[in-house]
Amino acid sequence: MKKEKIWLSPPHMGGNELKYIQNAFDTNWISQYGSNIDEFEKSLENYLGNSSYVTALSSGTAAIHLALRLLNVEEGDFVICQSFTFVATANPILYLKAIPVFVDSESLTWNMCPDMLEEAIKYVIQQGKKPKAIITVSLYGMPFKVEEILNISRKYEIPIIEDSAEALGSKYKGQLCGTFGDLSIISFNGNKIITTAGGGILISRNAAAKKRTLFLATQAKDDAEFYSHSEIGYNYRMDNIAAGIGRGQLETLEKKIEQRRKNHDFYQQAVKNNNDIELFSAPNSDFYSNYWLNTVILKNDFLKENLKEKFSQNNIETRFLWKPMHLQPLYKGYKFFGDNLSGTLFDTGLCLPSGTNLTDDYRARISNVLQNEIY
């Protein structure tokens, strides 16, 4: 009999989601308005602190798109973006016909390299323009080098859009990811640490920015008695059913972070005697990762070719790391600053099952592959 599939990062319901959905049905707020949306936003604002203003949206991608709009990014503007990421980080730059400039990762956090960032900024300034924004990512839940990057952002007065899609609950020096950017985003896609099936938030730092976010997310209706529109808006608001799922999920966030971090401890044990496999871990205690996904670097060509297949034979899902944007056909021809460290990570890395419902039984199956079946 085929063993049950172990997924990479499946949804994991907390318990109260249906109660909040039932409430939406009972009150007939089957809509992009309703108390689930209001309460979900309030709870997230309380959780994030640091004067965070949260707008619930239909996806993390929509949140990045609106962040660029809030910073007045227009056709022909330059936006600097981490290359090593999921394509959703970069695509909104193209939605606006702006020009992405990609920056490589450094080896400690796998996120944006401060030195290459500065090179990229100087290049854009040489073109006679100043970059309109810098999009940083905390990939796989690992915070980026926050201090170095924020210092560069301040030095050149270029705002940061912080893509924390994968990093809800992660911290740098005790401060939560999602609170560092001039604008920050988090995703609640089905594979993320908590989910609303599909959804995301834009986090801004003042009430005026939140008001503008809502305006753009709901078709940019002018303040008039009839339907009057002076600029382009979108239908990007989260709905009251999704927000109900979000409320139930958020109640279990602390537990989910703990569970993901325990998965990391498990992998540390499982690979500690194998010199061919290096588990990606926080470089020091300043970096607190939610370990959304556990990733390994394979230092042996045989494993590079075969490990994924071995897992697959055991009905265990693994995935390659994100393929950097500068290597994507879609982004061929855009400038890239770096030595292709992210390309090397892509060539040698693998994501391992990291769900919050990784049972002892599942762990035993994964250990067995790692310890007995790979060579």
Ligand X SMILES: *Cc1c(COP(=O)(O)O)cnc(C)c1O
Q: Which residues bind ligand X (CB under 6 A)?
A: 59-61, 85-86, 88-89, 137, 163, 165-166, 187, 189, 200
In angstroms, how far is the first alpha carbon of the chain from the final one? 24
Vertex 64, ends 129 and 326: CA angle to 5°? Answer: 65
Q: Which of 145, 192, 210, 256 is catalytic?
A: 192
Q: Min. distance of Cβ 63 from ligand X in angstroms? A: 8
Question: Which residue's beta carbon is nearest to the bound ligand X?
Answer: 60
Comparison of 201 and 366: residue with beta carbon closer to ligand X = 201
Phi and psi torsions of 271, nearest 5°: -115, 5
Comparison of 247 and 363: residue with beta carbon closer to ligand X = 247
Comparison of 166 and 370: residue with beta carbon closer to ligand X = 166
Q: Min. distance of Cβ 375 from ligand X in angstroms? A: 32
Q: State how far the Cα of 278 lies from the Cα of 242, in Å rounded to an integer.
A: 38
Q: Give catalytic status of residue 192 as yes or no.
A: yes
CA-based nearest residue to 247, from 44, 76, 82: 44
Comparison of 180 and 370: residue with beta carbon closer to ligand X = 180
- The 10 Å Cβ neighbour count of residue 289 is 28
Q: Min. distance of Cβ 191 from ligand X in angstroms? A: 7
Q: Min. distance of Cβ 137 from ligand X in angstroms? A: 5
Active site members: 192
